[in-house]
Homo-oligomer: A and B are copies of this chain.
Amino acid sequence: MKEQYLMLTAFFFNPQGDNRMSWRYPSAAGKEIYSLDYYKKLAQAAEGACLDAIFLADHVGIWDSYPSNITHYANSRLEPITLLSALSAVTSKIGLLSTISASFSEPYNLARALASLDHLSNGRSGWNVVTSGMKEEAMNYGRDETIEHANRYQRAEEYIRLAKSLWDSWEDEALVMDKASGIFANKDLVHHVDHNGDFFKVRGPLNVPRPVQGHPIIIQAGGSEDGRNLAAKHADLNFALLRSIKEGILYREDFDRRLAKFGREPSSLKILPGILPIVTDSKDELAEKQALLENLVPEQVGIDLVSSWVGMDLSGYPLDGPIPELPEETNFNGQRTNLVKIKQYKSEGLTLKEVARIVSSAGSAPTVGGNAKEIADQLEEWFKVRAADGFALMFPTIPEDWMRFMKEVMPELQRRGLVRKEYGPGTLRDRLNLPRPVNQFAAK
């Protein structure tokens, strides 16, 4: 059996870091976040440290229902597929994982773009399947309201199946390209998909040859029932928000049961909790930095964010009082994982102000701070007890935390044999010990 490494991906939504107001951090970049050079340096540093992948979050809209947002919050950014395609040209080994909405894109276009990126990058692409729960997103696609939650997941499930069929529509051996006979392709190995489902009707074949990896890596990031089942059926990776090792162990056990239902081995799905790594030389430096980060966030941004997560305007409630009664989860038509998190904070008795602070500065992932050795200890502990197969590194500040992690923590993890020292040959899928999917059209 091949050695299993701790899988590490460098994740970001805000180009200057996962703190909501990271753009205000003293060493944060300015308008260069709209240029390739900024990302090229980050990607090359991550590749230099043998990180597994870069992982881009995304929304298909701007969160602007509350007025503080556009004013204060870094909300315009580059589009992930174009950015990762550009990065494919200036890197050669690191994985390139992109969030793309299954609710607001055409399956043929998505399957093409990812297949093409997989060829351009020689087998390094991945798709984080999201269903786009923000009303502001739905309104950019002809709707007044979000698609109903259950429908979003049914649709996403059909979408993934369809994308996989399209990727399989050219079998691996379909390309002949024999100049003498004039035979370009073996037409018996090129297939219509003839998909006619509840949500999509697509004939195929795709007009890109089968991706180098067979299928790009599939990632799923929702923690709801619907989301977990989708992941257990289709995903190679699951991005999770877990607050403790104990939560991680229970989450893994839950997934192993779900995977078994679909006839899948536990090793076929890796779980990557999000963490906020802050590398510092001392405890004092860490405390100072965390205080600085918290102070970057205008109070109103935090409150508006909580309001958005729970689907209620909380501006009128006392800051030092409790969170008011929240909507039922079962019929909630937003991002249920976020609602559940706020309910947890409410049940712990936190005030509106406290919750606003947590949510706005850190999301709900745990901070893993300290020097290289201390951080490595924590990651190793999660990994060794099977609370995590790896992590989505949500650096609070970029480039500072990103660069320090690559320079200080990665060598420590390499020294311990927890991560690779060099990439070696093959595709991203090969390096993650994930099997190359069998082509559904191949002769049995």
Is the CB of A119 closer than 8 A to any CB of chain B? yes
| Residues of chain B with a CB closer than 8 A to A184's CB | 23, 70-75
| Residues of chain B with a CB closer than 8 A to A298's CB | 182
Q: A76-B170, A79-B208 are in contact. Are A26 and B120 (CB under 8 A)?
A: no
How many chain-A residues does the 8 Å CB contact rule pick out?
80
Is the CB of A24 closer than 8 A to any CB of chain B? yes
| Residues of chain B with a CB closer than 8 A to A209's CB | 34, 76
Is the CB of A54 closer than 8 A to any CB of chain B? no
> For the complex, what is the distance from the CA of A117 to the CA of B79, rounded to whole Å?
8
Contact B106 A105 (CB under 8 A): yes
Q: Which of A63-94 contact B (CB under 8 A)?
A: 64, 67, 70-79, 81-83, 85-90
A359 to chain B, nearest CB (A): 17
| Residues of chain B with a CB closer than 8 A to A108's CB | 60-61, 104, 140-141
Is the CB of A21 closer than 8 A to any CB of chain B? yes
Q: A78-B208, A86-B85 are in contact. Are A201 and B116 (CB under 8 A)?
A: no
> For the complex, what is the distance from the CA of A109 to the CA of B21, rounded to whole Å?
26
Q: What's the number of copies of this chain in the assembled complex?
A: 2
Contact B182 A82 (CB under 8 A): no
| Residues of chain B with a CB closer than 8 A to A73's CB | 184
Q: Which of A88-146 contact B (CB under 8 A)?
A: 88-90, 104-106, 108-109, 112-113, 115-117, 119-122, 136, 139-143
Q: Is the interface of A mostly helix, strand, loop or mixed?
A: loop
Contact A207 B76 (CB under 8 A): yes
The digit string for A347-378, where 1 denotes a CB below 8 A from any CB of B, is 00000000000000000000000000000000
Contact B122 A60 (CB under 8 A): no
> For the complex, what is the distance from the CA of A40 to the CA of B89, rounded to whole Å?
9
Contact A79 B177 (CB under 8 A): no
Of all chain B residues, the one with the shortest Cβ separation from A122 is B35
| Residues of chain B with a CB closer than 8 A to A70's CB | 184-185, 187, 190
> For the complex, what is the distance from the CA of A269 to the CA of B298, rounded to whole Å?
48
> For the complex, what is the distance from the CA of A195 to the CA of B422, rounded to whole Å?
51
A84 to chain B, nearest CB (A): 8
| Residue of A62, A105, A121 with most partner-chain B CB within 10 A | A62
A81-B113, A105-B106 known, 4 other contacts, Cβ within 8 Å: A23-B184, A78-B208, A82-B117, A108-B140
Chain A interfacial positions (CB closer than 8 Å to B) = 21, 23-26, 28, 30-31, 34-36, 40, 59-62, 64, 67, 70-79, 81-83, 85-90, 104-106, 108-109, 112-113, 115-117, 119-122, 136, 139-143, 170, 175, 177, 179, 182-187, 190, 200-209, 296, 298
Across chains A and B, which 3 residue pairs bring their CB atoms closest together, nearest first? A85-B85, A79-B116, A89-B89
